[in-house]
Amino acid sequence: MKASYFEKVGIGIKTVIKGMKKSLAYFFKKPVTLQYPHQKKVIAERYRGSIRLTINPETGKHKCIACTNCEKICPAFAITLKIETPEGSKKKELKEYYVDLGKCIYCGLCVDSCPVDAIEHSKVYEVAERSKENLILRLDTIGEKNV
């Protein structure tokens, strides 16, 4: 049986009231959105941001022993190491450590594979750049471009 005109109007009024109830409920709640550049979200403790080298507090230098585990295990090939072995020494030395954030998938395998905890995830999540070259970070030196 077809609904009459007044039944349709009644159904319409019910749905409008239902929607207005929902809107009024959200009107008195705390806002969900943030005004992004001015307000920033609190980052979770286990957040996986871009990677960085950890610094040994005693020496002031990075902890990397140039084992290349991070470079080998990276599925996206985002890590590039340049290593030298000084003459008369068996110990490798890290010369350059590059991370391409454009390739990085933030999986954390590099952090887990490091035997001396030389790399860790940072809390940096603002990595948008206008050119791809700016996404390649050199981590073995301390400077403003480094994470």
Q: Tell me the pLDDT tens digit for each residue of 53-81.
A: 999 889 888 899 999 999 999 999 999 99
Residue 147 included in any domain: no
Does one domain contain both 65 and 27?
no
The per-residue pLDDT for 143 is 43
What does the block give as tokens for 65? 């022993």
Tens-digit pLDDT profile for residues 123-141: 988 888 999 999 999 987 6
- Domain contains 73: yes
Domain containing 25: what range?
Answer: 1-32
Number of independent structural domains in the chain: 2
Report yes or no on 45 lying in a domain: no
Contact criterion met (CB below 8 Å) for 73 and 110: yes
17 in any annotated domain: yes
Residues 62 and 18 in one domain: no
